[in-house]
Structure 1
Amino acid sequence: MTILSREDIPEILKEKIRIVKSFFSGKKILVAFSGGIDSTLVLFFAKKFGKEVKGVFIYSPLTPTQEINQAKQFSTLLNIPITIYTLNSLQIREIRENLPNRCYHCKKRILDILIEIAKHDGHDLVIDGTNFSDLGLHRPGLLALKESNVQSPLAEGKFTKSDIITLTQILSLPSRNISSQACLASRIPYNTEITVDLLNKIDKAEIFLRTLIKNTTVPLRVRIHKLLPSDLLLARIESDARLIELINNRGIREDVNSNLKKMGFAFVTIDLSGFSSGSMDKIVKL
């Protein structure tokens, strides 16, 4: 049974799948693969409809450990090979200094690398997982995408985030039970210099909290703030009610406080507003 003949997929989604299929038919495809729900779906489509497919994961100091582990696991489950390319993104001044256009410069460098790899290996098409819903959000990286030759078939097919979640569940893809992801730099306020030490602290804190949650669907960010004029750090945990309820347990709360302080955070707080994607962008707008 083919995807388009499945009765459990709504006709409106089949129409969108046909648009995506037209992108891939007979082509040798390179996929920008992050292990997230969007790029996992587009990698799956590329394998189903393309002539040949290869995923490329760009690893940098900004990459959460969970993200690269997921990418390796999902590529194995999908039986699609991926290449991991290492980028020292902190060598790029605009990224290291964490300027408000950081995402543009990061995305531009990543896309340039993907295009270079595609040319070297003879791929016909370079694609990413940008979806139709992304086009209405504050995403500086979209400008870099627009300037490149990388294509976004999910956006072209008008796949919304809701469509992707629905289809991922129907197809039982390995990404069906994960929360949204973002690079570690998104936890740091703009114009605060990004260092490997800061990134490691954030990554370790999130890994620790995830061992307590034991649920990959729970959104989680450990945002940091420097308490100027000192170098003391405040950790602001963003999550949903499930983590907040967990931390209501005194023993767990003390464990979280103690462990994060050992990691280098002077103060450990919970954001009562809960998880908010792109919350650091709101600070810029104040």
Structure 2
Amino acid sequence: MNLIEKEQQLIHQLKQMKRVLIALSGGVDSTYLAKMAYIALGENAIAVTIENEFIPKREVEEAYVLAKKIGIPHKQVYLDALSNENISANPADRCFFCKTHLFTHLMQIAKNLNIETIIDGSNLDDMQDYRPGLKALYTLGIRSPLKEIGFSKKEIRERSKAHDLPTWDKPSFSCLASRIPYNERITREKLQQIDHAEQFLFELGLKQFRVRHHGVVARIEVLPEDFPRILANYQTIVEKLKALGFQYVTLDLEGYRTGSLNRQLIGIKE
């Protein structure tokens, strides 16, 4: 099956669902899924974006712009994740509790809208890392059409470009809580430190990066090819991050890699 045939199969599957609610983060996967759902179902596809301290404001604003570009009906709702102790305590399976909290809320919204099916943008590549959140989706009966049809991230980017979606080359993003080592409590102060630090790096022109929060230490991960940009601006970066409350600012010489904090979970299986 070629990629266009795979996309047609996706549209057919979405049509069979009649009415859907899409969890729209504004990332590559959920944006493509929202586009396909709107092609398949029109006004019977509704996108919902959750706003909370775990998500930078720029991501929420971008989701609004993307939904408008696609034409899909869109709602933004605030959900306080830190009020849930299973999330704020930051255990190794935090993502399970976070996804359960988030999608249980989306299920209530869907019920109020008389929508039976909720879909998310999980894809085949998500199966390659420690992702306890996937278990939550399965438990709650959330559908992941991209994973079910067999789309990889590369294929989603390719088809996103074909549909003129600006997210086709957008760097991967994960919630700000993923910057804090497991079993270290998540607080609004820490999340704000991370958010402001990453916004500063974003404004410097960096695209794929993370600021990992290790107490008084900020550990910056960027692609190795971006090391020169960091070093050229190291004084202003240090000044900014120290002003945010960090005492030490470091550059990780291994560079950016997704899920780097999962190394502490060796031996833990989902």
- Asked if residue 184 in structure 1 is aligned to residue 189 in structure 2, the reply is no
C-alpha contact 1:77 1:174 (8 A) present in aligned 2: no
Cα distance in structure 2, aligned partners of 1:96 and 1:188 = 11
Give, as a single letter, the amino acid of the residue that structure 2 aligns with 1:12. N
Other-structure match for 1:23: 13
Cα distance in structure 2, aligned partners of 1:127 and 1:176 = 20
Other-structure match for 1:230: none
1:36-95 Cα distance to aligned partner (Å, 9 max, x none) = 000000000000011511101111211122321221221122222321111111111111
4+ residue runs over 4 A deviation: none
Cα distance in structure 1, aligned partners of 2:124 and 2:213 = 30
Cα distance in structure 2, aligned partners of 1:219 and 1:104 = 25
Q: CA deviation at 1:18?
A: 2.4
Q: CA deviation at 1:163?
A: 0.7
Give, as a single letter, the amino acid of the residue that structure 2 aligns with 1:261. K
C-alpha contact 2:28 2:167 (8 A) present in aligned 1: yes
Other-structure match for 1:5: none
Q: Which segment is superposed worse, 129-138 or 144-153?
A: 129-138
Gaps of 5+ in 2: none
Give, as a single letter, the amino acid of the residue that structure 2 aligns with 1:35. G
Cα distance in structure 1, aligned partners of 2:117 and 2:173 = 25
Other-structure match for 1:102: 94
Give, as a single letter, the amino acid of the residue that structure 2 aligns with 1:188. I
Q: CA deviation at 1:244?
A: 1.2
Gaps of 5+ in 1: 1-10, 227-232
Other-structure match for 2:208: 219
C-alpha contact 1:221 1:237 (8 A) present in aligned 2: yes
Q: How many residues align?
A: 265
Other-structure match for 2:223: 240
SS in 2 for 1:58: strand
TM-score (norm 1): 0.89
SS in 2 for 1:90: coil
Give, as a single letter, the amino acid of the residue that structure 1 aligns with 2:41. G
TM-score (norm 2): 0.94
For 1:65-214, list aligned pairs within 5 A: 65-213=57-205
Give, as a single letter, the amino acid of the residue that structure 1 aligns with 2:178. S
Q: Which segment is superposed worse, 196-205 or 88-97?
A: 88-97
C-alpha contact 2:20 2:118 (8 A) present in aligned 1: yes
C-alpha contact 1:127 1:152 (8 A) present in aligned 2: yes
Q: Which segment is superposed worse, 11-20 or 266-275?
A: 11-20
Give, as a single letter, the amino acid of the residue that structure 2 aligns with 1:279. S
1:231-286 Cα distance to aligned partner (Å, 9 max, x none) = xx10000111343111222xx21111111111111001111111010011112328
Q: Which segment is superposed worse, 24-33 or 90-99?
A: 24-33
Alignment RMSD: 1.5
Change in Cα spacing, 1:80 to 1:114, as seen in structure 2 (3 Å) is: same
Cα distance in structure 2, aligned partners of 1:194 and 1:109 = 16
SS in 1 for 2:167: coil
C-alpha contact 1:31 1:55 (8 A) present in aligned 2: yes
Select the structure of larger CA radius of gyration: 1
Give, as a single letter, the amino acid of the residue that structure 1 aligns with 2:12. S
Cα distance in structure 2, aligned partners of 1:29 and 1:174 = 23
Cα distance in structure 1, aligned partners of 2:212 and 2:55 = 15
SS in 1 for 2:168: coil
C-alpha contact 2:38 2:71 (8 A) present in aligned 1: no
Q: CA deviation at 1:173?
A: 0.5
